[in-house]
Amino acid sequence: MPVLTPPDAPVIRIDAPGSFPRAVFRERHPVLIRRVLDALPYGPQQRAALAELLDRSTGGGPLEPLGPDAPDAAQWRAWGEGLWGRPWDEAPFLWAESWFYRLLLEATGYFRPDGAWRGVDPFAPFKAAELAGPAVDAELAALDALPPDPRPALLSAALWGNRADLSFQLTAQDGDRAPDLVADDSARLWAALERTPGGRVGLVADNAGRELLPDLVLADHLLTTGLAGHVALYVKPQPYFVSDATTADALATLARLRTAPGPAAAATGERLWRATADGTLTLRTHPFFCAPLPYAAMPADLRAELSGATLTILKGDLNYRRLLDDRHWPATTPFAALTAHFPTPVAALRTLKSDVLAGVAPDTLARLDTTGPDWRTNGRHALVQVRP
Ligand SMILES: O=P(O)(O)OC[C@@]1(O)O[C@H](CO)[C@@H](O)[C@@H]1O
């Protein structure tokens, strides 16, 4: 059946007064910069650069490309074509946020070849604290008490782990309220995997720690049950959106599992460790995972790499924004129509933490709209959507 692409909806931008994206820039980012400065003893030069980043990005300053020494200067010049010289406020939300995180790394000296701070993850203290904390202890302990059919529990843990996003927590009010699914294609997800057992499943990770842990446990389930013969776990090539998982974070999470006191967690960690060593679980990355663009614009090499997977599971809010393009679609627009560009069957596991949304039934939408203005962004709702 041909899938019709709906006409373009307005791009989500950061300049609308009272909007969620504007609050991210005006409220979340100042808190984030303050926390980064509290967590690591950056010197005066880096502190000044971070303050300037905040001023420019919230004060509508001009978008200026990276200096020629930056390793990704040419890449970013192309990604920002048409935006350079324009004010920050005119940039799409997706683009502007990604650029903000790239400039944050620039300000801290993450890419400077001559500096002592090269390669130091500015968010590492937050990620390490979370990974060592009681919430992760509880997740590890829960693995010893999984029911005989663990599928619903595993999927739910991977889904709700996405609430643990540290950037979201910077301004979240009541993240512990009972959550609600706005679309639930769980049965289709398992059916898609059962149709082609033993194939390669792509898992595009989102956050480290409390989210990556259940993602890894899900990967172990797919491998041990034969639903997948190979899992490719895609992480970020560099620190991004505070808690996004890099290779270092994936290794730390694996180590945490493997050294857990409970037998089930430790055994899972051991199996995943061996799967990584023997290549049935591969850790992969690509610069495009930190690009400010939708997945429809993915380069040919990444498209080729993802192709052939029986299913690609995209975790989290940012991956969802990139999958659908960050636009104000009518929320009843079919998910399949907006994701037809993706090179493989695709599943989204996401808690709702930003405005973009599709694939919601009209009656569900009508109900949600009576619950107040911020249900799309408050992290209390989630979705499982599948385009087989
Ligand atoms: O991808 P994630 O970790 O689920 O969410 C990323 C996120 O917290 O960052 C943006 C605001 O900074 C929001 O779009 C979104 O809620």
CA distances from residue 113 to 117, 135, 290 in whole angstroms, order as listed: 9, 37, 20
Ligand 1 neighbour 165 (Cβ under 6 A): yes
Does 231 map to a domain? yes
Q: Are residues 62 and 176 in the same domain?
A: no
Q: Are residues 183 and 225 in the same domain?
A: yes
pLDDT digits (tens, 9 = 90+) for 327-374: 999 999 999 999 999 999 999 999 999 999 999 999 999 999 999 889
Does 117 map to a domain? no
Q: Are residues 346 and 237 in the same domain?
A: yes
Does 119 map to a domain? no
117 phi/psi in degrees, rounded to 5: -90, 5
Does 8 map to a domain? no
What burial class does residue 365 get, using C-beta atoms within 10 Å of its C-beta: 0-12 exposed, 13-18 middle, 19+ buried?
middle
Q: Using CA atoms, how far apart are residues 134 and 156, in angstroms rounded to an integer?
A: 19
Ligand 1 neighbour 318 (Cβ under 6 A): yes
Ligand 1 neighbour 314 (Cβ under 6 A): no
Please name which of 333, 377, 382 lies closest in space to residue 358, comparing C-alpha atoms. 333
Tokens of 387: 């385009």
Position 180 scores a pLDDT of 85
Does 115 map to a domain? no
Ligand 1 neighbour 206 (Cβ under 6 A): yes
Does 199 map to a domain? yes
Position 2 scores a pLDDT of 44
The domain of 101 spans 20-108
Ligand 1 neighbour 162 (Cβ under 6 A): yes
Using the atom order of ligand 1, give the atom closest to the CA of residue 97.
12
Q: Are residues 56 and 137 in the same domain?
A: no
Does 2 map to a domain? no
Q: Are residues 148 and 253 in the same domain?
A: yes
Q: Using CA atoms, how far apart are residues 328 and 8, in angstroms rounded to an integer?
A: 9
Ligand 1: which of 13, 19, 24, 320 to mutate, judged by most atoms within 8 Å of the beta carbon?
Answer: 24
Ligand 1 neighbour 24 (Cβ under 6 A): yes
pLDDT digits (tens, 9 = 90+) for 141-173: 999 999 999 999 999 999 988 887 666 555 555
CATH of the domain at 148: 3.40.50.10880
Tokens of 32: 């984030």
Does 224 map to a domain? yes
CA distances from residue 257 to 102, 320, 332 in whole angstroms, order as listed: 31, 27, 40
* Sign of the Cα pseudo-torsion (271, 276, 277, 278, in order): positive
Ligand 1 centroid to residue 274 C-alpha, Å? 32
Which amino acid would we find at residue 19? S
Q: Is 244 left (phi over 0), alpha (psi -120 to 50) or beta?
A: beta
Ligand 1 neighbour 167 (Cβ under 6 A): yes
Using the atom order of ligand 1, give the atom closest to the CA of residue 207.
3
Q: Are residues 271 and 358 in the same domain?
A: yes
Total domain count, the chain: 2
Q: Are residues 357 and 283 in the same domain?
A: yes
Boundary (domain end) residue, out of 108, 141, 169: 108
Ligand 1 centroid to residue 24 C-alpha, Å? 9
Report the nearest-CA residue for atom 5 of ligand 1. 317
Ligand 1: which of 317, 356, 375 to mutate, judged by most atoms within 8 Å of the beta carbon?
Answer: 317
End-to-end CA distance of the chain: 13
Ligand 1 neighbour 98 (Cβ under 6 A): no
What burial class does residue 263 get, using C-beta atoms within 10 Å of its C-beta: 0-12 exposed, 13-18 middle, 19+ buried?
exposed
Beta 381-387 vs 346-351: how paired, if at all?
Answer: antiparallel
Position 168 scores a pLDDT of 59
Position 176 scores a pLDDT of 44
Q: Are residues 210 and 298 in the same domain?
A: yes
Q: Are residues 34 and 143 in the same domain?
A: no
138-169 residues labelled b (16+ CB within 10 A) or e (exposed): ebbebbeeeeeeebebbbbbbbbbbbbbbbbb
Ligand 1 centroid to residue 351 C-alpha, Å? 9
Ligand 1 centroid to residue 163 C-alpha, Å? 9
Ligand 1 neighbour 353 (Cβ under 6 A): yes
Q: Are residues 73 and 193 in the same domain?
A: no
Count of CB atoms within 10 A of residue 109's CB?
A: 21
Ligand 1 centroid to residue 239 C-alpha, Å? 14
Q: Are residues 218 and 339 in the same domain?
A: yes
Ligand 1 centroid to residue 155 C-alpha, Å? 20
Local confidence pLDDT in tens for the 388 residues of the chain: 444 566 789 999 999 999 999 999 999 999 999 999 999 999 999 999 999 999 999 988 899 999 999 999 999 999 999 999 999 999 999 999 999 999 999 999 999 988 899 999 999 999 999 999 999 999 999 999 999 999 999 999 999 888 876 665 555 554 444 458 999 999 999 999 999 999 999 999 999 999 999 999 999 999 999 999 999 999 999 999 999 999 999 999 999 999 999 999 999 999 999 999 999 999 999 999 999 999 999 999 999 999 999 999 999 999 999 999 999 999 999 999 999 999 999 999 999 999 999 999 999 999 999 998 899 999 999 999 999 9
Ligand 1 centroid to residue 59 C-alpha, Å? 22
Q: Are residues 206 and 267 in the same domain?
A: yes
Ligand 1 centroid to residue 354 C-alpha, Å? 7
Show the CA angle centred on residue 262, arms to residues 260 and 264, nearest 5°. 100
CA distances from residue 167 to 31, 208, 379 in whole angstroms, order as listed: 10, 12, 12
Ligand 1 centroid to residue 175 C-alpha, Å? 14
| Element holding 351 (H helix, E strand) | strand 346-351
Report the nearest-CA residue for atom 8 of ligand 1. 168
